[in-house]
Amino acid sequence: MAGVVTSGVLDVEPDTLDGGTITILFSDIESSTERATAMGDAAWFELLEVHNAIIRTAVARFGGREVKSIGDGFMLVLPSVRRALRFATAVQQQVEAPDGPDLRIRMGIHTGETIIDASGDLFGRHVNLAARVANLAAGGEIMASLVVLEIAAGRDDAIFGEPSQTELKGFAELQTVYQVHWSEDAAR
């Protein structure tokens, strides 16, 4: 039998392809191509390294795992909705701080069953849904699926905006999504 893939969050037999129920978070930098073109390659690379360090430090702090880096963004998994919300909030607060980097990060969070391959990459309907939720976010926003809201319900440390019904590419049924208010200003 094959050995166990140890990923920090997911420990599965590669031949089972069962990633279980996990919280998936996608992030990327708003208008990255335009920014890179305007700044030039060297300056953009330096800013991207700052971004990557912020994400990787926070994902380690909240017990998550980097599935992959996708240019100026990440596909991450976290062990719970609560940790994903805390991760996303911490990153946004750090980026938006007066001494933070000049970036606007878009994030989307969803929880569901996944398939994991031997390399640790994730596949399946819920991975696709998480990516589509992230695509709805503007820079500085965190968007979440209905499942995330339902799991987080009952705790007053996460504030969600009004529900929005939206069509997501590849999904026949309308999906309900929420903006996560991560700062006092955003909650007003």
Q: pLDDT value at position 3?
A: 38
3-state secondary structure (DSSP) of residue 46? helix
Q: What token pair was written down for 156?
A: 């007053």
Q: pLDDT value at position 81?
A: 96
| Number of independent structural domains in the chain | 1
Q: pLDDT value at position 187?
A: 38
The CATH code of the domain that includes 170 is 3.30.70.1230
In a domain, 89, yes or no: yes
pTM exceeds 0.85, yes or no? yes
The set of residues, in sequence order, having a beta carbon less than 8 Å from that of 155 and lying 6+ positions away, is 82
In a domain, 3, yes or no: no
Q: Does the pLDDT at position 66 exceed 70?
A: yes
- As a whole number of angstroms, the distance between CA 22 and CA 77 comes to 7
Query: Could you list the residue range(s) of the whole structural domain that residue 54 is in?
Result: 17-187
Q: Does the pLDDT at position 17 exceed 80?
A: no
Q: What is the mean pLDDT of residues 64-80?
A: 94
Q: pLDDT value at position 150?
A: 95
In a domain, 21, yes or no: yes
Q: What is the mean pLDDT of residues 38-57?
A: 96
Q: Does the pLDDT at position 21 exceed 70?
A: yes
